[in-house]
């Protein structure tokens, strides 16, 4: 008698072999599709037909569905999107994203080069010239060759996590090829090519929808769409230009571009290694004339010192690298009629005059309003209602009036008389000595100031209260439910339900969001209070220096000015804030509601005063720590980190490959030069 089937043991072995074979096929398909994807979208050299690619992708999807335990967020199948993001988390950058200083002339560039020579000494400088693509800045982190996260620029220190949307962009590699650092960030611009933008608008017009205004705004808006599947349908591209890590793995910016290309990134081919400023200007002049021949929008050229060691020696200012400059092309300019001037009241009481214009198209957007800044600017331009004015976009973003067409001025025109009373509450305006703006002094009774302070308090960088926005704040103020930000913590669901467009779920979310905000750390609470001149960075420095609100409240002017980067103006503002009875009442209420008014135990852990009073400059490559880790150690132990050597510098911590100019300057000024080992000893003695 012959058995009708194989023994169960043999069948299990057979199934196991099939499974292994299919999983191997799944992994092989991922590699193949990634390579084909790179050939098509990055190298512009397709290796197979679209049909064959689609068939391979379908085969992969079937296998991934059969073996869900093999899920990989970086699989080519994830390019189609589908993840829904209701709220984009705020994430801190591993390495700060700085802005760039701008130049508009050869003289600006010569001054920039002269400043660098003063720091480095008279050395030969090479420059890398790259086109400044007009898109949305992005920082993408890779760990072990896999895409880990993608974060928008935000304020440079932190941004929004848009990883799900970035994974859908086909020019962003999900898995790297070649030899790469274990962890690094790569920076670039998310752009929308002209051809793709025009195709999107054609489709919208066919559907009876309004067209998008310009490629840049459309690209930027795409990153914040909640449905990643919708992002996947848009022809976005990612152009990369800078790799950042703790340990340098190339010697020059030009090598960095080549390295990024070799790893599978789309790096623009238009770049030039220039040996002097004359070659830089030739590159700028050529592309200013030929910018419209490109497939993408550009608004200038970025010029960087090519040598990374020289970059490290030059360091950074508070906002920008000293070794890079953006040469901006002349801004687009149009003429339109100034129809009227209105006045806005900010949260600090500052009055801003606004020009209301006859609508005009400028650099892809319809402009109806432009800031006139202050009374001095109106006087300087001698701008009058009824004038034909010239408008351009500052940095090609913010509309501003730059002049008046006097040939078209009406004989009947009259000079603008700046208002003397607040347009909202009628209070007599004040103008302090040495300041350009007028202020409304009625801080506690002027509605826009009240709403503005509350809107600042709830903003993302401050208390980040979910379910509460500017419109709802205005409703709450008008309804008399709140008159200051402490009142938010008294709101009940029953108070909110009578408001227009306020359902029970929304009301519950708002109340829960307010309650959850009591966990926000001290430095952000301090920023949220809205003390004049106290931004995020200053709030962090004050929180770190004084540690509790009580200590800050009791500080005298001398103690405040002793804090790093706190000048007389900020110190006076902080000191005065804590001397006003209304503010003390607010603080007492906020304490009662449980807000954080002291650094947490976690913040205080591993902090000492060992280095207090000492200023350090860190330069070179180190073995025990990265430069970033060294700087944090200095700050955690009470020291100050500076990017350049001066007579106030206490120590230069010198690593390998430190540039000679810093050593020479330190020796000339008598600054102590210490090694990594000597620095470590300072923390243990």
- Catalytic residue among 31, 66, 132, 368, which? 132
Separation of alpha carbons 370 and 400, rounded Å: 5
Cβ 389 vs Cβ 403: under 8 Å = yes
Separation of alpha carbons 553 and 573, rounded Å: 12
The two structure tokens encoding residue 378 = 């109106």
Q: What is the largest CA-CA distance in the chain?
A: 117
Cβ 353 vs Cβ 338: under 8 Å = no
Residue 465: alpha-carbon gap to chain centroid = 20
List, in order, residues 6 or more apart from 247 with CB less than 8 Å away. 181, 621, 626
478, exposed or middle or buried, with CB in 10 Å at 0-12, 13-18, 19+? exposed
DSSP-derived pairing of the beta strands 615-619 and 640-642: parallel
Tell me, what DSSP letter sits at residue 401? E
Separation of alpha carbons 536 and 515, rounded Å: 22
What's the residue count for the chain?
A: 685
Cβ 177 vs Cβ 43: under 8 Å = no
Place of tokens 């960087």: 304
Q: Residue 344's closest CA among 449, 434, 478?
A: 449
Separation of alpha carbons 675 and 685, rounded Å: 16
Is 515 marked active-site?
no
Cβ 493 vs Cβ 481: under 8 Å = no
List b or e across 188-216, with b for residues whose CB sees 16 or more CB atoms inside 10 angstroms.
bbbbbbeebbeebbeeeeeeeeeebeebb
Q: Residue 188's closest CA among 296, 339, 305?
A: 296
Separation of alpha carbons 234 and 44, rounded Å: 18
Place of tokens 């007389």: 568
Tell me, what DSSP letter sits at residue 610? T
Catalytically active residues are 132
């Amino acid at each position: 008698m012959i058995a009708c089937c194989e023994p169960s043991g043999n069948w299990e072995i057979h199934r196991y072999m099939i499974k292994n074979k299919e999983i191997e096929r799944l992994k092989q398909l991922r590699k193949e599709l990634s390579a084909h994807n790179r050939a098509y979208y990055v190298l512009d050299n397709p290796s197979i037909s679209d049909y064959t690619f689609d068939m391979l992708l379908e085969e992969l999807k079937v296998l991934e569905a059969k073996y869900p335990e093999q899920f990989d967020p970086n699989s080519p199948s994830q390019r189609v999107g589908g993840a829904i993001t209701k709220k984009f988390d705020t994430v801190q950058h591993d390495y700060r994203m700085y802005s760039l200083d701008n130049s508009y002339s050869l003289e600006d560039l010569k001054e920039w080069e002269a400043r660098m020579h003063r720091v480095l000494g008279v050395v030969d400088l090479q420059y890398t010239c790259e086109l400044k693509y007009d898109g949305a800045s992005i920082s993408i982190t890779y760990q072990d060759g896999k895409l880990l996260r993608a974060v928008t620029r935000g304020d440079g220190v932190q941004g929004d996590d848009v990883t799900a949307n970035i994974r859908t962009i086909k020019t962003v590699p999900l898995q790297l090829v070649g030899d790469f650092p274990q962890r690094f960030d790569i920076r670039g611009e998310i752009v929308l090519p002209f051809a793709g933008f025009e195709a999107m608008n054609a489709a919208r017009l066919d559907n009876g929808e309004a067209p998008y205004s310009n490629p840049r705004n459309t690209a930027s808006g795409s990153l914040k769409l909640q449905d990643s599947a919708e992002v996947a349908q848009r022809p976005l591209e990612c152009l990369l230009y800078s790799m950042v890590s703790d340990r340098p793995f190339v010697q020059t910016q030009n090598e960095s571009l080549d390295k990024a290309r070799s790893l599978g990134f789309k790096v623009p081919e238009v770049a030039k290694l220039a040996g002097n400023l004359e070659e830089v200007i030739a590159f700028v002049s050529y592309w200013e004339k030929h910018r419209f021949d490109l497939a993408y929008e550009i608004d200038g050229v970025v010029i960087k010192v090519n040598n990374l060691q020289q970059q490290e020696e030059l360091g950074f200012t508070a906002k920008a690298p000293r070794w890079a400059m953006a040469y901006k092309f002349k801004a687009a300019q149009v003429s339109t009629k100034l129809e009227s001037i209105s006045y806005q009241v900010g949260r600090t009481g500052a009055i801003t005059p606004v020009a209301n214009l006859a609508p005009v198209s400028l650099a892809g957007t319809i402009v109806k309003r432009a800031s006139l800044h202050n009374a001095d600017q109106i006087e300087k331009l001698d701008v009058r209602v009824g004038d034909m004015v010239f408008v351009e976009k500052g940095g090609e973003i913010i509309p501003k009036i730059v002049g008046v067409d006097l040939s078209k001025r009406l004989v009947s025109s009259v000079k603008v008389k700046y208002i003397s009373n607040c347009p909202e509450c009628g209070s007599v305006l004040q103008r302090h000595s040495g300041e350009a703006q007028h202020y409304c002094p009625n801080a506690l009774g002027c509605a826009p100031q009240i709403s503005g302070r509350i809107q600042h308090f709830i903003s993302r960088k401050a208390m980040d209260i979910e379910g509460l926005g500017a419109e709802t704040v205005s409703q709450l103020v008008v309804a008399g439910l709140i008159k200051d930000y402490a009142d938010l913590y008294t709101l009940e669901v029953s108070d909110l339900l009578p408001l227009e467009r306020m359902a029970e779920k929304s009301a519950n979310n708002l109340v829960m969001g307010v309650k959850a905000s009591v966990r926000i750390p001290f430095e952000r609470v301090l920023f949220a209070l809205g003390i004049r001149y106290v931004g995020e960075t200053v709030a962090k420095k004050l929180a770190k220096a004084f540690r509790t609100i009580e200590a800050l409240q009791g500080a005298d002017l001398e103690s405040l000015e002793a804090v790093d980067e706190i000048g007389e103006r900020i110190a006076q503002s902080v000191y005065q804030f804590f001397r006003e009875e209304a503010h003390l009442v607010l603080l007492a209420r906020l304490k009662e509601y449980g807000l954080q008014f002291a650094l947490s135990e976690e913040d205080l852990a591993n902090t000492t005063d060992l280095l207090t009073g000492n200023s350090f400059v860190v330069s070179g490559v180190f073995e025990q720590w990265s430069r970033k880790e060294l700087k944090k150690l200095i700050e955690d132990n009470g020291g100050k980190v500076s990017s350049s050597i001066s007579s106030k510098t206490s120590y230069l911590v010198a690593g390998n490959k430190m540039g000679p100019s810093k050593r020479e300057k330190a020796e000339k000024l008598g600054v102590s030069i210490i090694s990594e080992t000597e620095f470590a000893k300072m923390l243990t003695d």
